[in-house]
């Protein structure tokens, strides 16, 4: 889908390799994997416990200001109570 494909293979490779796409990526989440592992190791048993866990991780993420962790914590705080409630 790239317009550079019309410049031939060598031209296309040169243009693509000159683009620095890594500078636009967010920092890797430091807590997201840990939270998911905590849920796996000791899942909340009821709706209130899942709300408490979601609130805890959301506060941690907001304090540390890591975008990936904030998004992960937000999703966990909203979705985890639904999984516990309907299981």
> What does the pLDDT read at residue 19?
78
- Domain locations in the chain? 27-86
> What does the pLDDT read at residue 10?
85
Residues 6+ apart with CB under 8 A from 17: none
Residues 6+ apart with CB under 8 A from 60: 31, 69, 73
Inter-residue contact 83 to 50 (CB < 8 Å): yes
Can you tell me which residue has the tokens 């693509």? 16
Per-position pLDDT tens, the chain of length 87: 567 767 888 887 888 778 776 766 667 778 988 999 999 999 998 999 999 999 999 999 999 998 899 999 999 999 999 988 665
d(CA 16, CA 71): 30
């Amino acid at each position: 889908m790239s317009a550079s494909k019309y410049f031939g293979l060598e031209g296309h490779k040169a243009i693509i390799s000159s683009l620095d796409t890594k500078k636009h990526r967010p920092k890797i989440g430091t807590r997201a994997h840990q939270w998911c592992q905590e849920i796996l190791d000791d899942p909340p048993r009821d709706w209130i416990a899942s709300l408490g866990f979601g609130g805890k991780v959301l506060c941690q993420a907001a304090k540390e200001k890591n975008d990936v962790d904030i998004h992960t914590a937000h999703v966990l705080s909203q979705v985890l109570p639904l999984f516990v409630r309907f299981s």
